[in-house]
Amino acid sequence: MRYFFLLVAGWLLALPAGAAPLPADTAVQPITRLPADGLLLTQGWRYHAGDDPTWARPDFDDSRWDTLNPTRPRRELPTRLHTGLGWLRLRFQLGDSLRLRALLLQTTGNGAWELYLDGQRLQRQGTLDPAPHRVRVNPHPPEPLELPATGRAGHVLAVRFAPWHHPLLHQSLDEALVFSARLQGTAQRRKATAEQAAAGPVFLALGSVVGLLMLLHLAFFYYNPARRANLYFALYTGALSLGALGVYSTPAVPFSSPVERLAFELLTWLLLVSSGLWAARALYALFGFRPGWLYAGLCVCCGALLAYSVVEVVHHGFQNGAFFGFMMAIVLATAEQLRLTGRALRQRRGGAAIIGVGFAAALLAVLGFIAIVTSATMYSSLVSALMYPLMFLPPALAISLFLAREFALDAQLLQVKLGEVETLSAQTLAQEQEKQALLAAQNETLETQVAQRTGELQRSLTELRATQAQLIQKEKMASLGELTAGIAHEIQNPLNFVNNFSEVSTELVEELQEALAASDTAEAAELARDVAQNLSKIIEHGKRAAAIVKGMLEHSRTSTGERAPTDLNALCQEYLRLAYQGLRAKDKSFNAELITDFAADLPLVEVVGADLGRVLLNLFANAFYAVHQRQQLGVAGHRPTVEVRTRLAKQRVEIRVQDNGTGMSNAVQAKIFQPFFTTKPTGEGTGLGLSLSYDIITQGHGGTLSVESHEGQGTSFIISLPA
């Protein structure tokens, strides 16, 4: 309702106040005095279509031109006026009191024009062109022109005019005026400008207060999302502040075309109507009412009325029909707000009176505003501007006070609850103290029992550690047995050669003695050469056995933990042979294919040779065990194979030990590196081999040990060491 009164007041303000009556159409229009808001020049205009620069001269005879009023809607004027270039001329006579005064001329129009006074061009607005679709207009009215006090009485005002057309707004342009000129005094203009400048801070203060209310309630909603009334109220104040800003900033916005100005004003209407709907939604939430079909219908009706206003603006401009739709939407939203407030008052809802007082204050302010704008003695721009806060702020402040009251009541309720919590806390504390005393007694008993159990656990732990040490030693001995068997098998071959050559040499020496006794020197020389050859073979195979023993001692002695540059290819080759010979020593029937693929560019790696040899021996022994187990299953076409590969990739050395044995399931792979886990029968494995190997590689050498296996297909162990 307050918006309705505001619009009515605006219409009243726009009406001319005290305009001096003008005589009928004559050759020269006399102007003897100026009203307070200036004199709109409506009569005495002559018009002619076409374009001739001589028509701007004051001595040109325009008596044969058509007479018209350019402030009338375009549809009431001759068709030639809005089809191309034309000229308007007005002759006026200033009275004695106006000849020596400086005057201002304010022009507006729906097109582009050039204004001439007494043959001199004073103003150019937009771009003129004979083709209406190429005419460019300036959406902002020009600043008033100052007419100097020349002392002359008669003047000729000539306007070279080109109408503007738009395909979307062609019907609404028919309702718009073509051209208007208003004559006013400089004193009245300065007074109005000063009042408008003084009203600016009032509008700024109004927008600031409403904006602060929006931010305040947004903060309330952020910290308490359950209280949705704060969100609706923030949307209400935000839409209201933006709508008010649109109303008061329209003259200052640099629009590039009238269409943009039209869209901006329609957006302002939308914001003002939506502010009323959000205010009603906030009241629903404040009073605990449920918005049902009535509120939904209100939103639909307001949307339909706004759509009707848009259609009216497009077809007929900002006329009564457009304002009716906008005004009815505001009235419906305000009526819903008043209905909700009255319902809350009837139900004696707490705090409803605060909101009622806010609406009453706003209504009184609207009535006072109407009284001021309709009074010729009381009206001024500054006084009317001062009334705006009294019309807009009371409802917003009332809702804020209501929400503040609710917040205070909630805080008071929380204070009461806090007192109850403190009482319960004291009772709980007393109970806790009793429990603490009981627990202290029980703790003493438990500590005694824990001490006893700890002693038992310590003894069990000592026994477990001893057992673990024995198992680790057993694992080491098992590895040593594997190594010893391989060494024994390696040394057996050269020893067999030594024994065989020794026996043959003994027989040759006996034959040599017989030949010497028989003085057969030729036979003796031949036998001596055979003995010498046998002795060289004995020496050769003896050195081979000594080299084997020396190499094994170097790799099998107790590790000192010192790293040394090591040829991993040679280390793998050596321990692969030992592991294979060790298994062959236990089972003469076992045979396997050994495949090696050593990288030729493999660098020396800093490792502890004995520890890494123990890891390799363990992996090789497991690989031979796996292929031997699959061989015993009698799988058709199976040929036991163990492969060893080395390669250099990304500054790391990789050793891959692969077999085509029985493979492992996923469950076994997940536990393969756990201590004491083994898949071998009882008595054949300790379950520590892979666990110790994992620790040697990862902790001792900073590398990785991983496994890839497929059940029934084979297994691959991958050692990765920093190069």
Higher pLDDT, 541 or 426: 426
Of 681, 398, 700, the residue nearest 563 (C-alpha): 700
DSSP string, 314-364: HHH-SSHHHHHHHHHHHHHHHHHHHHHHHHHHHTT-TTHHHHHHHHHHHHH
CB contact at 8 A, 46 and 89: yes
**Is 90 exceeded by the pLDDT of residue 277?**
no
At 5, the pLDDT band (50, 70, 90 cuts) reads very low
Query: In the prediction, which pLDDT does 343 show?
Result: 86
pLDDT at 418 over 60: yes
At 158 the pLDDT is: 92
pLDDT at 341 over 60: yes
19 in Cβ contact with 35 (< 8 Å): yes
Looking at the DSSP bridge assignments, the partners of residue 49 are 86
pLDDT at 92: 87
Q: Do 563-722 and 198-411 have the same topology in CATH? A: no
pLDDT band at residue 497 under the 50/70/90 scheme:
low
Domains of the chain by residue range: 23-191, 198-411, 563-722
**What's the rounded mean pLDDT across residues 572-582?**
84
pLDDT for the residue numbered 471: 65
Class of domain 563-722: alpha beta
**Using CA atoms, how far apart are residues 323 and 9, in angstroms rounded to an integer?**
13
Q: Superfamily assignment of 198-411 in CATH? A: Rhodopsin 7-helix transmembrane proteins (1.20.1070.10)
Maximum mean pLDDT: which of 77-81, 208-212, 604-608? 604-608
Please report the pLDDT score of residue 20 as a whole number. Answer: 35
pLDDT tens digits, 287-327: 788 888 888 898 999 888 888 877 776 655 555 456 677 77
Residues 385 and 198: their CA atoms lie apart, in Å, by: 9
Digit-coded pLDDT (tens) for 601-647: 888 888 888 888 888 888 888 898 888 888 888 778 888 999 999 99
Task: Give the least confident one: 122-126, 206-210, 341-345.
Answer: 206-210
Of residues 687, 659, 675, 510, the one with CA closest to residue 583: 659
Cα gap 655→705, rounded to integer Å: 10
Q: Give residue 201's pLDDT.
A: 60
- Supply the pLDDT for residue 707: 92
- The residue with greater pLDDT, 254 or 135, is 135
> In the chain, what percentage of residues exceed pLDDT 70?
72
If one compares 696 and 533, the residue with the highest pLDDT of the two is 696
**Is the per-residue pLDDT at 136 higher than 90?**
no
Q: Determine the Cα–Cα distance for residues 176 and 156; give it in Å rounded to an integer.
A: 25
**What confidence score (pLDDT) does residue 241 get?**
77
Greatest alpha-carbon pair distance for the chain in Å reads 181
pLDDT, position 657: 93
Please, what is the Cα angle at 391 between 390 and 394, to 5 degrees? 70
pLDDT confidence tier of residue 11, bands split at 50, 70 and 90: very low
pLDDT at 706: 92
C-alpha to C-alpha distance for 675 and 686, rounded to whole angstroms = 9
Helices 568-586, 521-556: inter-axial angle, 10-degree rounding? 110
pLDDT higher for 509 or 278?
278
Q: pLDDT higher for 707 or 246? A: 707
If residue 420 lies in a helix (H) or strand (E), which one and from where to where? helix 381-517
pLDDT at 94 over 80: yes
Token pair listed for 361: 């204050």
Lowest-pLDDT range, 117-131, 366-380, 418-432? 366-380
Q: Encoding tokens for residue 17?
A: 């106040």
pLDDT attached to residue 653? 92
- Over range 391-406, report the average pLDDT: 70
The whole-number pLDDT of residue 656 equals 94
Q: Which range (116-120, 417-421, 554-558) has the least confidence?
A: 554-558
More confident residue, 529 or 410: 529
What pLDDT, on a 0 to 100 scale, did the predictor assign at position 19? Answer: 34
Does 667 score more than 80 pLDDT?
yes
Measure the N-to-C terminal CA separation of the chain; round to a whole number of Å: 87
pLDDT in tens, 146-192: 777 777 778 899 999 888 765 555 444 444 567 888 887 766 555 55
What DSSP element (H or E) covers 566? strand 564-566
Residue 720's pLDDT is 92
Task: List Cβ neighbours of 253 (8 Å cut-off, separation of 6 or more).
Answer: 261, 264
Most confident by average pLDDT, 124-128, 530-534, 673-677: 124-128
CATH of domain 23-191: 2.60.120.260
Rounded to the nearest 5 degrees, what angle is found at the Cα of 269, between the Cα atoms of 267 and 275? 105
Of 365-369, 395-399, 507-511, the least confident: 365-369
Q: Give per-residue pLDDT as tens, 541-555.
A: 777 677 666 655 554
Asked if 355 and 344 touch (Cβ cutoff 8 Å), the reply is: yes
Q: Does the predicted TM-score (pTM) go above 0.85?
A: no
- The pLDDT of residue 659 is 92
pLDDT at 213 (0 to 100): 74
Task: Name the DSSP letter for residue 95.
Answer: -
- State yes or no: pLDDT of 716 exceeds 90: yes
* Range from 45-54, 513-522, 621-630 carrying the lowest mean pLDDT: 513-522
Burial 488-513 (b: 16+ CB within 10 A, else e): ebbbeebeebbeebeebbeebeeebe
Taking residues 88-105, what's their average pLDDT?
82
Bridge partners of 90, per DSSP, are 157
pLDDT, averaged across the chain? 76
- Strand pairing partners for 18? none
Which band of pLDDT confidence, cut at 50, 70 and 90, is reported for residue 715? very high
Q: Which residues contact 556 (CB under 8 A, 6 or more apart)?
A: 480, 483, 610, 613
Residue 621 contacts residue 580 (beta carbons within 8 Å): no
Task: Determine the average pLDDT of the residues in 531-550.
Answer: 73
What mean pLDDT comes out for the span 105-130?
85
Reduced to 3 states, what is the DSSP secondary structure of residue 665? coil
Sheet holding 641-649, edge to edge: 593-597, 641-649, 652-659, 714-722, 704-710
For residue 604, give both structure tokens. Answer: 């020396």
Query: Which residues, 6 or more positions from 526, have their beta carbon under 8 angstroms from its beta carbon?
Result: none
Most confident listed range (156-165, 253-262, 395-404, 492-501): 156-165
